[in-house]
Chains A and B, each alone.
Chain A
Amino acid sequence: MDKISSSYFIARGTNKASSLFKRVRFMPLYSFPHHAEHSTKYEKNKNRFFIHLDIDAFFAQVEQRDNPKLRGKPVSVGGNGGMKGICMTASYEARACGVEIGMSVVEALQLCPDLISVPSYGTKYEAILQNIMYHIAKYVPDELIEQYSIDECFLEITGVVKDWFSAIKLAWEIKKMIWNIEHLTSSIGLSYNKSYAKVATKFDKPNGLAVIREENKDIVYKLPVDKLWGIGRRNTIRMNSLGIHTIGDLANSNIHTVHKEFGINGIMFRKIARGEDTSGIQLKKERLEKSFNHAHTLTDAIYTDSAINNEIKRMVEYVCRRMRAKNFIATQLGFFIRYDDLGSVGDSVKLKPPTNDERDLMFYCREIYKTFPPPTPSRKARQFGITTFDLHQVTGYNLDLFKKFQNLPYKEIDFLKEKWGERIIRVGLDAQ
């Protein structure tokens, strides 16, 4: 036996590890440094150290590591391993052929006929990631780690190291640790602010370590402007029209010009380009929910009444359980269906009284569904979506004299589901 790794426990829905689990599953969608969190006192933020860690082609690398047959070959992960779906990630061999992340598998196969498309194995990647994060937390306190995406994180090591030498040493140790525990290569960018750390990661990919200090920030200035964090395709076109082609051009641009074109974001972009990003580690903030929604695209489209009922039931159960877990009731319900010709219909209704009872929601969903053109063998339903909004937080319930259903012990039902798994108990919604 060569190496055992990833023997890290993923708990689903148990209280003990739920906070850790959230770190992986519910990542900040967009943690671009917001202007409100920027301190204008840049001088105070000069002597900081940030690490940006990116595991190279994470999913593809894991599959290549576990299956010798895939090593050295162009591999993409995503879809169902068939022609459907998109490339969630691609190995460097596939990227050399022009395969990009987000591309459909069909498109990728046209570019790279030898491409091996493997299905994604989410739980395995989560286990590996949690194992890595658990070990990183031994080097850096948990509150100084920002999980930016499934395979990327920022670490602020200002309080952990005293100079650049020890910062580089720590970065190497983290890289080495990831290799030792998981046999995965990673790229690290080290800099005095978050944005430059992210840019630095791309300098020496894969399996590299790049450092950008204030003294050598000229190397960043030579890069095209789209390499800067937050500047995408559309912003690049607008920047180019202003004569800004490199990060250096942006850094030396007139502040009024960029402000006029991009508003407050223009000032932000210019600050980031100049290396004056003063944002720190952003932790996930508890936010008040405004809506609960769930949409599901089926691999095989359906049209029979029973199959559609089952799909609605599954979604209603899921959304209601989430609402009950946070003590919310909804006043409005939205429901939509997308057909396999990509046409869609949707509608919303007011719930009377506001509820989080899955029987009520099932009833209203069925009522909305009756107004839709029914799916047929030639026009099947492919995607279903449900949204509850206009939410109110409740602490207790008033019994309703005229309610058509008896109250069910949902608290106990949810507890059983959490303890024994989803299928242990279900409300008989079909019987109505």
Chain B
Amino acid sequence: MTYYQNITFEKIEVIAHFKELDINIIRFRWKNTVYNVDKIANKWKIASGEDLTTHFSVICEKEGIIAELCFHHKDFKWELIQWDNL
């Protein structure tokens, strides 16, 4: 079996809690569906020049998906990079 990820790079709306330098994602909306984030499995930052992005690997158990979200620090925008069914 070969595994294909669903790579989308779509803009999404996110409700997140910003505390000092920490970002805690609560829920996000993609294609008119709201996904509640149950767990942030992993988080890492990537910088290219002065463009800094923070990536989150999140698990939404009720909706049954795992997704990678990306926050662009430069313009405060969120992006759904890839997702897969749990």
Contact surface of A with B, Cβ cutoff 8 Å:
1-14, 62, 65-70, 81-83, 105, 109, 113-119, 123-124, 127-128, 417-422, 424
Contact = CB atoms under 8 A, between A and B. Distances in A.
A21 to B, nearest CB: 10
A116 B2 CA distance: 5
Nearest to A83: B2
Nearest to A6: B44
A424 B74 CA distance: 15
A113 B2 CA distance: 9
Nearest to B85: A69
B41 A418 contact: no
A83 B1 CA distance: 10
Contacts of A116: 1-3
Contacts of A12: 46-49
Interface in B47-82: 47-52, 54-55, 57, 59, 66
A115 to B, nearest CB: 7
A115 B3 CA distance: 9
B46 A67 contact: no
Interface in B22-45: 22, 24, 39-45
Nearest to A114: B1
Contacts of B54: 7
Contacts of A13: 49
Given A65-B41, A67-B66, A124-B55, A9 B47 contact: yes
B45 A8 contact: yes
B74 to A, nearest CB: 10
Contact of A127 (B22, B39, B44, B52): B44
B4 interface: yes
A62 to B, nearest CB: 8
B84 interface: yes
A5 B43 contact: yes
Contacts of B55: 124
Given A5-B42, A65-B42, A66-B57, A118 B47 contact: no
A68 B40 contact: no
A123 B46 contact: yes
Contacts of A66: 41-42, 57, 66
Nearest to A13: B49
> What bracket does the count of chain B residues touching chain A fall in?
20 to 34
A420 B49 contact: yes
B5 A119 contact: yes
B47 A6 contact: no
A169 B59 CA distance: 36
Contacts of B86: 68-69
A68 B64 CA distance: 11
Given A7-B44, A123-B44, A421 B3 contact: no
Contacts of A70: 3
A114 B52 CA distance: 38
A14 B47 contact: yes
Nearest to A113: B1
A11 B4 contact: no
B1 A424 contact: no
Interface string B1-29: 11111000000000000000010100000
Contact of B43 (A6, A83, A118): A6
Given A115-B1, A116-B1, A117-B3, A421 B41 contact: no
Contacts of A62: 42
Contacts of A105: 2
Given A67-B66, A68-B66, A69-B84, A81 B3 contact: yes
Given A12-B48, A69-B66, A81-B5, 20 more contacts: A1-B24, A3-B40, A3-B41, A4-B22, A6-B43, A6-B44, A10-B44, A10-B45, A10-B47, A67-B66, A69-B85, A70-B3, A81-B2, A114-B1, A117-B2, A118-B3, A123-B44, A419-B49, A419-B50, A421-B48
B66 to A, nearest CB: 6
B6 to A, nearest CB: 11
Contact of A118 (B5, B51, B66, B85): B5
15 contacts: A1-B24, A2-B40, A8-B45, A11-B47, A65-B41, A65-B42, A66-B42, A70-B3, A113-B1, A118-B5, A124-B55, A127-B46, A128-B44, A419-B49, A419-B50
A4 to B, nearest CB: 5
Contacts of A65: 41-42
Nearest to B48: A421
Contact of B2 (A68, A82, A418, A419): A82
Contacts of A124: 42, 44, 55
